Structure 1
Amino acid sequence: MIVIKAVIMAGGKGTRLRPLTCGIPKPMVPIFNKPVMEYSIELLKKYNIDDIAVTMAYLPSVITDYFGSGKEWKVKLNYFIEEIPLGTGGSVKNAEEFLDDTFIVISGDALTDINIKKAVQFHRDKKSKATLILKKVSVPLEYGVVITDETGKVIRFLEKPSWGEVFSDTVNTGIYILEPEVLDDYKKGDNFDFSKDLFPKLLKEQVPMYGYIMEDYWNDIGDLNSYMKTQFDILEGKVKVKLNCDEVQKGIWIDEGTKIGENVKLYPPVYIGKNTIVGDAVGIHPYTIIGENCEIGKEATLKRSILWKNIKIGGNTHLSGTTVCSNTQIKNGVNIYENSAVGSGTLLSKGVIVKPNIKIWPDKKIEEDTIVSQNLVWGTKQRKTIFGYKDVSGNINIDITPEFASRLGSAFASNLEKEATIIVSSDKSNACDIIKNSFISGILSTGAGVINLKDASMPMNRFAVRHYDADGGIHIRLDPYEKDLAHIEFVDENGANIDRNMERKIENLLNRDDFKRCSVENIKSVMHVDNFSSLYMKNGIKLMSDISKIKRCNPKVMISSTCKNVLNLSESFFQSMGCQVQCEYDLYKYKSLDEYIADFSSKIQKNTENIGMILSSNGENMILIDEKGRIIDKEMYTLLVTNILLKLGISKEIIVPYTAPKVIDKMVSSFQGKVIRTKTAPSYIMKEMLKNDYEENMYLQYILNYDAILAAGKIIDFLISRDCSLSDLVDELPDFYLIKKEIACDWQDKGRVIKEMIINHKGTNMELFEGIKINNDKGWALILPDSERAVFNVYTEGLSEEYAKELSTQFSQKVENILNNN
């Protein structure tokens, strides 16, 4: 017999589950006609755990009114209410007078059938002070990843990692077995989390802490999809819970008092609750769950839908993939489509159509023949994750609509301080202007201010954020190759791309439609800046050490870009510096960039230009070509910039991405400098370069890496001041042998591959900073899951080209073998 206590954490608001949770806390959301928390109580009672604390914060009376003392479930419930948010750990510490022995912490808003007896035995066998219950999942991005060694001892935590940080497929379920003393360093009323505060502290102090990997069912009911999936899993028998009604035939459960009309077709699995009336010729298709006291009109069709209790559905109505909350009336001829949700007490009149992904809040009335194509108040629900590698992208008027842009602008502004100012800019296209205007409307509706830049580039937006001391920026541009595709980038108060934490906050607000809205008198007017480019270029000229010498030398440059706006800006800037500028407009005529670069290189040599450059459409990056026609791109460009910074002598710290060649370390050490490697996403690199405001060395690194126009100007300035050519600098660069290869894989395999690679290379010189990096005395290999695409990136660097290829083949094969041996 297990003799321990239990704590059920039941403080969740369930904001991502709205409108299901508009009037009830998340633990009270029904699963087959009873609150999800009730399943947790029944599970604990099954293992003779009957002394239970319940920690609450949001609408606690709803929970206490339903469960009372717990007598009905033959348990004793002890309630502890947080007056202010205390975090997951703080909420449990709030019940400290209850915690006098080993106890299990379990969530009131997740469903599991875990074998608690086995988990507790594991805890005791290991003499653990804190045992985390873990579960293997295929896509662990939304969870805390926990890494254990072969004995089960916890060795590392990662809270909601990016793909580059996914080192395991075992995630934290939020179920813990704890000894009371692990909380001794905290006081009642302290605000702290288990995963962010307590567990890292125990790990650092080497307190015995283990991970028990459960084979049983567990699903966090975090959003509408997981809520529906949990119930479908119960119908399929994947969960060891008993439905409290008869299975009248295989896969069909019908509770007492229910009446079924004539010619009704039931396609298992189906569940129908008590006292429900199903009219004639109704079709109830697989994965349909109908609650108590419902009425289904004749010839209605229900597919993969969940109905709560006391719902009336009219004749000839079609429901597909929807959740309908209690006390809702749906009249004749209504059609409701996939991934939608209808709040309690709503009336949908005759002929209403609710399109996919729509949420309707409680107690709303929809008039006859209305087509509901947006959430009732604010707009259309978008996919949960909208950010890619560094931006939001999609087709204009399909993915990126004016309505979506307005909501996205509101979500961004809602995450900033009150009275925030945001720089909004776009390229010269009419399409982006429309989207920009919608962004402005959404931002203004929150009470934030807007500075509108016309005909801008991404670096101009970043500069404007710093120049005007703004709180953030948004830039919209069209893709140079797909003319319908728009890219939207967001920057923070320093002008760096926002980090993943901020992206998640924006996505969460967008998914909940939970925006700030200001009163009419607080709506600000827009500040329009028509000629900001002149201010931007004037600032660029200040970066040059000897502009008069450049004008005397009158260097010849050839420039090209897929973006006409960037090309015009760069032409104006180089001319103002005193350069002879020749613009190339033929890039559009070529099938591939590589083919164009080869021809462009030939023209540089033929025309005896001093330098050639192909600038990216966003104005951030460029490919340089020296007077000998040699191409300086990617890692070669990083080495070139490093060489310039070291020669200028203003920078002892060189910031590079994790994938940069190791030869940089030797270059920097020869100048008694230090290399700082960051994660590969631009937000990490920029944040490091811009964190010290206008400190010269860091800001110049940012310019040379992320502002192609000013970077090219500074490189020209450096060459002129040192009386050298670009080829002279290139000749000084050390040789290196770096190979990048892509391996296709399913998203669900990424965590498994990384975990198996870690296990297979135990005992080697291994780094887990981003992805998994294996070092030896001849080179290194980095296996890095791509954040946007279903591929692994395999980087290898060797002392020779031959060894780099050997490493690439070796580690690519290892990844492929793991993928093939599922």
Structure 2
Amino acid sequence: MSGGIGTRLRPLTCQLPKPMVPIFNRPVMEYSINLLKEHGIEDIAVTLHYLPNKIKEYFKDGEKFDVNIKYYIEDKPLGTGGSVKNAQDFLDSTFVVISGDAFTNIDLTKAYEFHKEKGSKATLILKREAIPLEYGVVITDENGRIIRFLEKPSWGEVFSDTINTGIYILEPEVLDYYNKGDNFDFSKDLFPRLLMDNIPMYGYIAEEYWCDVGDIGSYIKTHEDIMKDFKKHYLLGEKVQNGIWIEKGTIIEKGAKLYPPVYIGQNCLICEGAIIEPYTIIGSDCVIKGGTSIKRSIIWENVIIEENCEIRKSVICNQVYMDKRSRLFEAVVGAHSKIYENTTIKPGVKIWPYKTIDENVIVKDNLIWGEGINKRLFGNRNITGIFNRDVTLEMIVSLGTAFATVIDNKGSYIISSDGNNLSKSIKNLLISGLLSTGSQVIDIEDGALPMCRFGIKYFNAQGGIYISTNKADEINIEFMDKRGVNIDKNTKRKIENSLITGDFNRCSSEEMEDVVSVNNFFKIYIREGKLSLKNIEKIKSRKPNINITSPSENIMKLAEEYLIGIGCNVKKMHYREEYTIEDVRKKVLEEDADLGVLFSIDGERIALTDGFNSIENERYWLLILSLGFKTGELKEAVVPYNFPRIVEKLANKYNANINYSKSNITDIMGTIIDKGIEFQYILNFDGIWAIGNILDYLYGQNMTLNKLLQEIPEYFYFKKEIPCQWEDKGNILRRLTEEGQQGKELIEGVRFIEDKGWAMIIPDEEKPIFNLYIEGYDEEYAEELGNLYDEKIKKLIKGF
């Protein structure tokens, strides 16, 4: 399979199909051809789509490699399975599918024997991978039979560290589910259907080397792995001396220093005074002048590097010129680029082909769209970063463009921010990006995140963006779909890919829309927030004293206007850093107020106090669910899978139903909205409207907060964080899932169900920790259970 575009490898693949990217001066696909030949496979079909002639011109009919090659070109992408089905006339017996961009020495003969021994119709060759998020995870039983697939899972779904390498041994009849020309994938479409129909399908776990040359990091690592492993040195040909490989025609001048391991291609000139340090690979026809130092870097062909340059852990593509005293640190330079004298290219920068960089320049940003993209641009729910360090001006404009490109470049989008000046600046940059696609932008100005979600539905927009700023210039950017729900992980991936490729929809100046600015939209939001309240007159007659605070002054202003409008006396408390609901409780008690409210910085969440009780997090959820069940507003509710199961007792009391969702905000909020549970949406995700609904109930029913809290059954629940290494996560979760213990659920993380409680272990999406959730029938047992699983995880970590 050689049709991939190689998005994550750009700029290496801007002018080159991914299988043609060189490893030690040979296309990576050539190693796959040689592997097949080594195992007696000489008839090879190659599926092509992106830049097919580059591959055909190099490999031709395969005679040079002692194999027979046929080519099958897709006019449009057909998916991994569809591309193989397109070669149907070639598939008359058991066949192997292998990616043209994977580097491996997996024993295909052993895998084939396993396939036949098991009577398998589809055998997937698997490998153990410490951090499997970018791969398909495959779960097998003790006999190797496949029982479950997860495509590019989140950490909460990593139930195993055995990943799909994309190498398969298949019987032709498994493709009968589809017709030639159908677009389908093996992992997403065909294999789940085989599993559903109970077709024998097995996973063969390979012990040999395998690397998906999928991004720059893995590309560099593959070269280092080969150089480090003596058993793979046969791939590199004859050594001049220990750890140094030099091909014919290359001249190493006297006084040049080479520190192994080093690989240098044909017809190169390494001048006197040049220093070639370990794990450096230099392609053919290159010139390295004196005083230049290169370490852990890969230089392609026809590259000239002048005197006194410094190159560290970088990749330089074909026909690049680098002038004297220039420096390259963990960067990538595309083909045919010119870097002039005394230029510094900072870590993480990617320079696209045919770029010219003037002398005396410091390059901090990519030369295509403006910003390097981390492997995981989005966090669990949003993009967070320090301004001008993680999040730059150029990146922000491109984010707006990518968002509209992915969702609908002719759509309408709501945009809003908190009152911070930096947030407003970021908002204007995002607006520029959105407008450049031909989209309509409706700016509802300063507000709260729930107000932005409300605006999306109010204007029937295709999506929305909300920007807020925390202390120390930390920016948060939330992207929402047409429901007002945070975008899902597939949309996040598409936005990231659009940024990486620079593949944006653009409009002409005639097509560019004006920004629609809606002044005082908050008035509409506040008015709408009052419409569902039934007891405003009772609230006004009682004139409750409410103390409010928030890290955001803007949220306090909105909450103040809303609460005054329903009849409350409001006192704004000056917020100070690390303020908690306990601080608010003390103030409420001192001032004999009726209620205290701590709003989150975006206005989405609240914590409550009556001066005696502090209610936040899961206790707040239980309070509002109790209120909803009691009034009949809620016949069913949605809670995250890691929530205390005491909620079931509460629901049963009122004959209500509980729906569990995964614990990320997209799944929770999306499930609530899709089920039409408006009351829960308001109380969970709109802090300002929520406090109005709570007061409406309390004063309408002549109820106190303390009395309402008594409706909640006693429960014993806590969360613990256990530090680990990123690479520990998949291995430990797999070992936990393989334990033979009964009462185990694999819906999100691993949940162990005991007689008197449960423990749930979920790897964190953003930090190198395990989150451990515990609930027990009493406090002592909950603590005992927590210690048990805390110790279990720590022992597994120490075992590495």
**Which category of TM-score, normalised to the shorter sequence, fits these structures?**
over 0.9
Shift of 1:170: 0.8
Paired residue for 1:198? Answer: 190
Paired residue for 1:817? Answer: 795
Matched, 1:617 2:582: no
Shift of 1:776: 2.7
Map 1:213-252 → 2, pairs under 5 A: 213-237=205-229, 240=232, 242-252=234-244
Of 496, 501, 505, 1:512 maps to 501
Of 684, 709, 724, 2:688 maps to 709
Residue by residue over 1:287-321, the C-alpha shift from the partner in whole angstroms, topping out at 9 and shown as x without a partner, is 11111111222222222221111222222222222
Matched, 1:664 2:664: no
**Which whole-Å CA distance do the structure 2 matches of 1:681 and 1:118 have between them?**
42
Shift of 1:507: 2.1
**Which whole-Å CA distance do the structure 2 matches of 1:243 and 1:606 have between them?**
77
Matched, 1:256 2:248: yes
Shift of 1:742: 1.2
Give yes or no for contact 2:126–2:163 (8 Å, CA) kept in 1: yes
Residue by residue over 1:80-137, the C-alpha shift from the partner in whole angstroms, topping out at 9 and shown as x without a partner, is 1112211101111111111111111100011000011111111111111111111111
Amino acid of the residue matched to residue 509 of structure 1? S
Give yes or no for contact 1:272–1:289 (8 Å, CA) kept in 2: yes
Map 1:62-461 → 2, pairs under 5 A: 62-237=54-229, 240=232, 242-338=234-330, 340-461=331-452
Matched, 1:725 2:704: yes
Shift of 1:679: 0.7
Give yes or no for contact 1:614–1:623 (8 Å, CA) kept in 2: yes
Residue by residue over 1:431-486, the C-alpha shift from the partner in whole angstroms, topping out at 9 and shown as x without a partner, is 2122222222222222222222322111111111111111111111122xx33222
Residue by residue over 1:769-798, the C-alpha shift from the partner in whole angstroms, topping out at 9 and shown as x without a partner, is 100001133111101111111111111111
Amino acid of the residue matched to residue 341 of structure 1? V
Shift of 1:765: 0.9
Amino acid of the residue matched to residue 158 of structure 2? V
Give yes or no for contact 1:112–1:239 (8 Å, CA) kept in 2: no
Paired residue for 2:729? Answer: 750
Paired residue for 2:713? Answer: 734
Range with greater deviation from structure 2 (187-196 or 508-517): 508-517
Matched, 1:653 2:631: no
Matched, 1:548 2:540: no
Amino acid of the residue matched to residue 538 of structure 1? R
Paired residue for 1:598? Answer: 582
User: Matched residue of 2:177: which SS?
Assistant: coil
Paired residue for 1:689? Answer: 672
Residue by residue over 1:677-700, the C-alpha shift from the partner in whole angstroms, topping out at 9 and shown as x without a partner, is 1111111111112225xx4xx122
Structure 1 residues 163 and 16, CA gap change in structure 2 (3 angstroms): same
**Which whole-Å CA distance do the structure 2 matches of 1:577 and 1:606 have between them?**
24
**Which whole-Å CA distance do the structure 1 matches of 2:365 and 2:607 have between them?**
44
Matched, 1:680 2:663: yes
Shift of 1:518: 2.2
Structure 1 residues 512 and 352, CA gap change in structure 2 (3 angstroms): same
Paired residue for 2:756? Answer: 778
Map 1:532-571 → 2, pairs under 5 A: 532-571=521-560
Give yes or no for contact 1:785–1:791 (8 Å, CA) kept in 2: yes
User: Matched residue of 2:11: which SS?
Assistant: coil
Shift of 1:34: 1.3
Range with greater deviation from structure 2 (46-55 or 362-371): 362-371
Residue by residue over 1:245-296, the C-alpha shift from the partner in whole angstroms, topping out at 9 and shown as x without a partner, is 4211111000111111120000111111011111111111111111111122
User: Matched residue of 1:84: which SS?
Assistant: coil
Paired residue for 1:3? Answer: none
Paired residue for 2:569? Answer: 580
User: Matched residue of 1:249: which SS?
Assistant: coil
User: Matched residue of 1:184: which SS?
Assistant: helix
Paired residue for 2:769? Answer: 791
User: Matched residue of 2:466: which SS?
Assistant: strand
Amino acid of the residue matched to residue 133 of structure 1? I
Give yes or no for contact 1:610–1:725 (8 Å, CA) kept in 2: no
Shift of 1:348: 2.5
**Identical amino acids, percent of aligned pairs:** 47
**Which whole-Å CA distance do the structure 1 matches of 2:93 and 2:584 have between them?**
75
CA RMSD of aligned residues (A): 1.7
Shift of 1:389: 2.3
Paired residue for 1:528? Answer: 517
**Which whole-Å CA distance do the structure 2 matches of 1:377 and 1:757 have between them?**
44
**Which whole-Å CA distance do the structure 2 matches of 1:355 and 1:789 have between them?**
25
Q: State TM-score, norm by structure 2.
A: 0.97
Shift of 1:354: 2.6
**Which whole-Å CA distance do the structure 2 matches of 1:238 and 1:665 have between them?**
59
User: Matched residue of 2:240: which SS?
Assistant: strand
Shift of 1:631: 1.3
**Which whole-Å CA distance do the structure 1 matches of 2:182 and 2:476 have between them?**
43
Shift of 1:145: 0.7
Total equivalences in the alignment: 800
Give yes or no for contact 1:132–1:212 (8 Å, CA) kept in 2: yes
**Which whole-Å CA distance do the structure 2 matches of 1:250 and 1:238 have between them?**
11
Give yes or no for contact 2:273–2:291 (8 Å, CA) kept in 1: yes
Amino acid of the residue matched to residue 566 of structure 1? I
Give yes or no for contact 2:420–2:469 (8 Å, CA) kept in 1: yes
User: Matched residue of 2:446: which SS?
Assistant: coil
User: Matched residue of 1:145: which SS?
Assistant: strand
User: Matched residue of 1:155: which SS?
Assistant: strand
Residue by residue over 1:28-63, the C-alpha shift from the partner in whole angstroms, topping out at 9 and shown as x without a partner, is 111111111110000000011111111111121211
Amino acid of the residue matched to residue 585 of structure 2? S
Give yes or no for contact 2:7–2:500 (8 Å, CA) kept in 1: no
**Which whole-Å CA distance do the structure 1 matches of 2:586 and 2:19 have between them?**
68
User: Matched residue of 1:131: which SS?
Assistant: strand
**Which whole-Å CA distance do the structure 2 matches of 1:238 and 1:581 have between them?**
74
Amino acid of the residue matched to residue 660 of structure 2? R
Paired residue for 1:4? Answer: none
Paired residue for 1:12? Answer: 4
**Which whole-Å CA distance do the structure 2 matches of 1:327 and 1:601 have between them?**
68
Residue by residue over 1:534-591, the C-alpha shift from the partner in whole angstroms, topping out at 9 and shown as x without a partner, is 1110010112123223222322322222221111111111100011222222x41x7x
User: Matched residue of 2:281: which SS?
Assistant: strand
**Which whole-Å CA distance do the structure 2 matches of 1:351 and 1:608 have between them?**
68
Amino acid of the residue matched to residue 776 of structure 1? E
Give yes or no for contact 1:139–1:747 (8 Å, CA) kept in 2: yes
Shift of 1:609: 3.0
Of 786, 795, 799, 1:808 maps to 786
Give yes or no for contact 1:159–1:196 (8 Å, CA) kept in 2: yes
Give yes or no for contact 1:402–1:434 (8 Å, CA) kept in 2: no
